[in-house]
Copies of this chain bind each other. A is one copy, B any other.
């Protein structure tokens, strides 16, 4: 191990290798609620793509497990290292290399945070439209987990907003995939294959992201509904309305009470309406033209009323911002409330009512609590699960995941499988696909060094 530390120091400089007990707690995991944090043998902090490639070459030679780390804000344990392994932290590779206002792309290093990219692109009226709840997340982490967030309903997820990568292969080569153009049909799309692979295929060392014009005018509309079912049935109708909302979230009554309480936020909803509402829809509209926005908000009000909303409140700027922020912090609210796990099952929009019914029934059977909110427009539900007993919780999760898959959905819409949901993934997914994915993994990573134990593979 001493030898490895020296060889790592030869690559990145002694100041940028931390070993053994000197490794800080930050590097022992991410924000996943389950599983044990693990101290790696070394944390190494490269400053360039060539250094990343050299680290991976060394790791393949020595068959050392390698876990990539952006900001560590993931929720599935994909940034939890292996004991005896390496953490490659991208904290020093955090430069915005170019903001290209002609092609509407930014070229960034993977350690750039979303908040910094947001601030810099705002200066030129553009924006990277992937907004997962946590703006301290890194672009590299977005790539690893195919992050989504509220605006995906209009702008798509990471997969739809990354045009190209530079990436280091486990075997130590650097490749460039895609580019600043929006399409290609020139061999297999390695960009798309690496996105969402949770650090198991290659490590992105540079990311080309799409930018969209920031629209000057936006409005946030809050609509209380009598039942969860009516709100879920309303979702596809709002999507079909042609109003193209950039936010379309549902929040159940318990979650709304919790997040508004935490944020000390008063929404001005009369008690009588609130007491009669089991769920809320939050709809964001935006436009480059103020008049068109106003007209669209009016149409939206009519649509929501027809769909059974008790009312539709157009929130003023600060209230709207606070509600969106409170919604983004729902994970922290759930964590503070003692949630034992947070899920992000995705199903076809039309299956949201059936899925939530199934989840509630499974919770009732096991004496568990399940509350939530989510990206309703995408069919992506964030459920906070309250069940202390690990075995009961595992059985509950199995039933919830199986219900989602039976409805044509998937275990995770945007958090990924990581370590936290791997056992469920391996139990529930088609073994033919698992075997095919394993073969693809070996095609990239013959020595199996990249994030072993994440998605699949040995857990030793």
* Partner-B contacts on A (CB < 8 A): 100-105, 145-148, 152, 156-157, 159-160, 169, 173-177, 179-190, 192-193, 195-197, 201, 213, 215, 236, 239-240, 242, 288, 292, 346-350, 378-380, 408-417, 425, 429-430, 432-434, 436-437, 439-444, 455
- Expressed in whole angstroms, the Cα–Cα distance for A413 and B189 within the complex equals 12
- Expressed in whole angstroms, the Cα–Cα distance for A410 and B180 within the complex equals 10
Question: Is the beta-carbon distance between B430 and A176 smaller than 8 angstroms?
Answer: yes
CB-CB under 8 A from A380, the residues of chain B are 181, 183
Question: Is the beta-carbon distance between A186 and B444 smaller than 8 angstroms?
Answer: no
Smallest CB separation, A148 vs chain B (Å): 6
Question: Is the beta-carbon distance between A181 and B408 smaller than 8 angstroms?
Answer: yes
Question: Is the beta-carbon distance between A433 and B190 smaller than 8 angstroms?
Answer: yes
CB-CB under 8 A from A442, the residues of chain B are 443
Question: Is the beta-carbon distance between A348 and B103 smaller than 8 angstroms?
Answer: yes
CB-CB under 8 A from A186, the residues of chain B are 410-412, 416-417, 425, 429
CB-CB under 8 A from A159, the residues of chain B are 183, 189, 192
- Expressed in whole angstroms, the Cα–Cα distance for A182 and B349 within the complex equals 9
In the complex, residue of chain B having the shortest beta-carbon distance to the beta carbon of A215: B242
- Expressed in whole angstroms, the Cα–Cα distance for A266 and B443 within the complex equals 56
CB-CB under 8 A from A414, the residues of chain B are 183, 185
CB-CB under 8 A from A169, the residues of chain B are 432, 436
- Expressed in whole angstroms, the Cα–Cα distance for A322 and B379 within the complex equals 40
- Expressed in whole angstroms, the Cα–Cα distance for A348 and B145 within the complex equals 27
Given A175-B432, A443-B440, answer yes or no on A188-B181 (Cβ-Cβ < 8 Å): no
- Expressed in whole angstroms, the Cα–Cα distance for A317 and B414 within the complex equals 44
Question: Is the beta-carbon distance between B440 and A188 smaller than 8 angstroms?
Answer: yes
Smallest CB separation, A124 vs chain B (Å): 10
Can you offer 15 A-B residue contacts whose CB atoms are under 8 A? A100-B350, A146-B183, A148-B183, A152-B182, A159-B183, A181-B378, A181-B409, A183-B378, A184-B412, A186-B412, A186-B429, A187-B433, A190-B433, A215-B242, A242-B288
Question: Is the beta-carbon distance between A175 and B347 smaller than 8 angstroms?
Answer: no
CB-CB under 8 A from A145, the residues of chain B are 185
Question: Is the beta-carbon distance between A179 and B348 smaller than 8 angstroms?
Answer: yes
CB-CB under 8 A from A102, the residues of chain B are 236, 348-350
The 3 closest A-B pairs by CB, nearest first: A439-B443, A192-B192, A180-B348
In the complex, residue of chain B having the shortest beta-carbon distance to the beta carbon of A152: B183
In the complex, residue of chain B having the shortest beta-carbon distance to the beta carbon of A440: B443
In the complex, residue of chain B having the shortest beta-carbon distance to the beta carbon of A442: B443
- Expressed in whole angstroms, the Cα–Cα distance for A222 and B374 within the complex equals 44
Known: A145-B185, A181-B413, A185-B415. 20 other contacts (CB 8 A): A101-B240, A102-B349, A156-B182, A157-B182, A169-B436, A177-B433, A181-B347, A181-B380, A182-B379, A186-B425, A186-B429, A187-B434, A187-B455, A188-B440, A188-B441, A189-B196, A193-B193, A436-B443, A439-B443, A440-B440
Smallest CB separation, A127 vs chain B (Å): 13
CB-CB under 8 A from A195, the residues of chain B are 189
Residue in A180, A288, A444 with the greatest tally of chain B CB atoms within 10 Å: A180
- Expressed in whole angstroms, the Cα–Cα distance for A350 and B101 within the complex equals 10
Smallest CB separation, A151 vs chain B (Å): 12
Question: Is the beta-carbon distance between A425 and B181 smaller than 8 angstroms?
Answer: no
Question: Is the beta-carbon distance between A179 and B410 smaller than 8 angstroms?
Answer: yes
In the complex, residue of chain B having the shortest beta-carbon distance to the beta carbon of A160: B160
Tell me which of B173, B182, B193, B240 contacts A104 (CB under 8 A). Answer: B240
Question: Is the beta-carbon distance between B182 and A188 smaller than 8 angstroms?
Answer: no
Question: Is the beta-carbon distance between B433 and A184 smaller than 8 angstroms?
Answer: no
CB-CB under 8 A from A236, the residues of chain B are 102-104
- Expressed in whole angstroms, the Cα–Cα distance for A445 and B297 within the complex equals 53
Tell me which of B105, B157, B288 contacts A183 (CB under 8 A). Answer: B157
Smallest CB separation, A315 vs chain B (Å): 25
CB-CB under 8 A from A378, the residues of chain B are 181-183
CB-CB under 8 A from A193, the residues of chain B are 188-189, 192-193, 440
CB-CB under 8 A from A434, the residues of chain B are 187
Residue in A181, A185, A378, A417 with the greatest tally of chain B CB atoms within 10 Å: A185
CB-CB under 8 A from A152, the residues of chain B are 182-183
- Expressed in whole angstroms, the Cα–Cα distance for A91 and B195 within the complex equals 34
- Expressed in whole angstroms, the Cα–Cα distance for A174 and B436 within the complex equals 12
